[in-house]
Every structure is written in structure tokens, then in C-alpha cells.
């Protein structure tokens, strides 16, 4: 299977002098095309820093990250921005949507910078995505007029508007109740089933248990890995118990 992202011996440090420490301490990760990966670990373990490094959103102090065969550290800021806009999608715990735009305009905004596409086609794509995730009726709503779960689904539509090869999610269900979180994971799982790779950072064992591969981090290193088959919708309790057991065994 083709590897979409390869991280080799990634080092990321914070602080200076005696206060300097490695948040990422020689981490190596590979993500295959269409794979569903999650990263778990205690606060400060480096999981979000790893996601930012793998996506080119954060600089690294050592090692190498390659996306689709290109060394991210060798690219200009403009080239990195173009890759993130056209090849990657991002879903955060709190969607970064603009208050002065309605839901539809927030979704289409990133792609409107791409002059190769017409505005009509972008809007059509956005409406199809909104229908798919169940928020078609909300396109003219202000972002203050929808629920947290609906806002997150709008964020997912925006992440998908350019047909990315991978979606990065940093605690995408962290601010939602359990029912909304399940709907978001249903949506992300469907996206992955259709061929888009996904890398999620999460503290929630129930979220991680729906992925194919879980990377457990502690003190800037990957200390364990767990693999599952594609989630079939019925064995979640068994998968969660296995994840929790692994965490207990690792002391995290």
C-alpha cells in the first residue's frame, strides 16, 4: 500500500538552555493512503505536536517529514500553504469559522482562492457535502445559530471541499456531548471508508477504538501500537476494552 506521509526520527524541542526539552524525541511514523490512524497519550505526551509536524503546520528541529513524496522542510511557506489547502483537510476541537460569514460561505472560503475552479462548482460541491453530513438546511445560518455538533460538521465539510488525500483531526469530538460525538465519528468513518486517510489526536478511547491503528505516546515517544480491522459498527465495547487495557498496561 502506498505511504502518503512518512515521518522519520522527528525531533521537536521547546524551551532554551537547561529548560529545553524534546516534545518529540526521534519519532517515526508512516501513514498509508486510506488508513485510519489515531494518536493517544497523556497531556504533554507530544500527540498534538506530532500531528502538527506531520501536516507541516509546525516546524521540526530534526528528522524529516515527507508528504506524497515531497520533503515538507524543503518547501516554501507558499508551497506548504498550497499543499495544506489542496491536499489536506483539518478538523479541530473548536472549528475556526468566521463570525461574519454564514455556514455556506465559511465552507467554501478556502477553495475560493483556487482560481482553477469556478465559484459555482465550489458552491455545488459544498451543498453536496452539507447534504451528506445532514446540515443542508443550515447554509444561510450564522455560526452562532447552530449547535456545536452542527458547527463541527460544517468544519468537516470545509476540510473536504478540496478532496484532500488526508484529514487531520485534533480532538474533533472533545467539545461535544456523546450523541454529537458519535455522529461526528460516523461522518469521519464514512469519509475514511470512501478512501480518504485520517489521522486523529484524541483522549477518548471510544473514538480511538473506531480507528484501524492506534499510536500510544508518552514523553515524546511512541511507546506502543495497536491494530484493529475496519470498524464494523457492532464490536465497539470489545475494542474500547482492549484500548483501555493497553492504556492501563502502559500506565497512561
Task: Give the pLDDT confidence of 125-138 residue by residue, as tens digits.
Answer: 999 999 988 899 99
Res 111: pLDDT: 82
Residue 219 falls inside a structural domain: yes
Residue-level pLDDT at 114: 62
Domain that holds residue 218: 1-87+199-252
- Which whole number is the average pLDDT over 93-113? 87
How many helices (H) and strands (E) the chain has is answered by 8, 10
* pLDDT attached to residue 15: 77
Is the pLDDT assigned to residue 146 strictly greater than 60?
Answer: yes
Number of domains in the chain: 1
Within a domain: 240:
yes
Domain holding 252: CATH number?
Answer: 3.40.50.300
Instruction: Give the HSE-up count for residue 15: Cα atoms under 13 Å, Cβ half-sphere.
Output: 8
Instruction: Answer whether residue 69 is part of any domain.
Output: yes
pLDDT band at 3 (very low <50, low <70, confident <90, very high): very high
Please indicate, yes or no, if residue 45 is contained in any of the structural domains. Answer: yes
How many Å separate Cα 54 from the centre of its chain? 10
* 16 occurs within a structural domain: yes
Residue 79 CA to residue 75 CA, distance in Å, equals 6
In a domain, 186, yes or no: no
Q: End-to-end alpha-carbon separation of the chain, Å?
A: 31
Q: Which tens digit of pLDDT belongs to each residue from 19-44?
A: 778 899 999 999 999 999 999 999 99
Q: What is the model's pLDDT at position 180?
A: 86
Residue 143 lies inside a defined structural domain of this protein: no
In this prediction, residue 116 has a pLDDT band, given cuts at 50, 70 and 90, of low
What does the DSSP assignment read for 205-231? HHHHTTSSEEEEEETTEEEEEEE-PPP
Residue 61 resides in a domain: yes
Average pLDDT, the chain: 92
Amino acid at each position: 500500500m502506498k505511504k502518503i506521509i512518512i515521518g522519520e526520527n522527528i525531533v521537536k524541542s521547546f524551551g532554551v538552555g537547561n529548560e529545553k526539552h524534546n516534545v518529540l524525541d526521534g519519532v517515526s511514523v508512516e501513514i498509508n493512503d486510506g488508513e485510519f490512524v489515531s494518536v493517544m497519550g497523556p497531556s504533554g505526551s507530544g500527540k498534538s505536536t506530532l500531528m502538527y509536524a506531520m501536516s507541516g503546520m509546525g516546524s521540526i528541529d530534526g528528522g524529516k517529514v515527507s508528504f506524497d513524496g515531497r520533503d515538507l522542510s524543503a518547501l516554501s511557506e507558499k508551497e506548504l500553504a498550497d499543499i495544506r489547502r489542496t491536499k489536506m483537510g483539518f478538523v479541530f476541537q473548536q472549528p475556526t469559522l468566521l463570525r461574519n460569514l454564514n455556514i455556506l460561505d465559511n465552507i467554501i472560503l478556502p477553495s475560493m482562492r483556487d482560481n482553477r475552479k469556478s465559484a459555482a462548482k465550489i458552491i455545488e460541491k459544498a451543498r453536496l457535502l452539507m447534504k451528506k453530513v445532514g446540515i443542508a438546511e443550515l447554509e444561510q445560518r450564522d455560526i452562532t445559530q447552530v449547535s456545536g455538533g452542527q458547527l463541527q460538521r460544517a468544519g468537516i465539510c470545509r476540510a473536504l471541499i478540496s478532496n484532500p488525500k488526508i484529514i487531520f483531526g485534533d480532538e474533533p469530538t472533545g467539545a461535544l456531548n456523546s450523541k454529537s460525538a458519535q455522529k461526528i465519528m460516523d461522518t469521519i468513518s464514512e469519509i475514511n471508508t470512501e478512501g480518504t486517510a485520517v489521522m486523529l489526536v484524541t483522549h477518548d478511547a471510544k473514538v480511538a477504538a473506531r480507528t484501524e491503528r492506534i499510536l500510544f505516546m508518552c514523553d515524546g515517544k511512541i511507546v506502543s501500537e495497536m491494530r484493529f480491522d475496519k470498524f464494523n459498527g457492532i464490536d465497539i465495547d470489545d475494542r474500547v476494552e482492549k484500548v483501555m487495557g493497553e492504556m492501563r498496561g502502559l500506565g497512561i
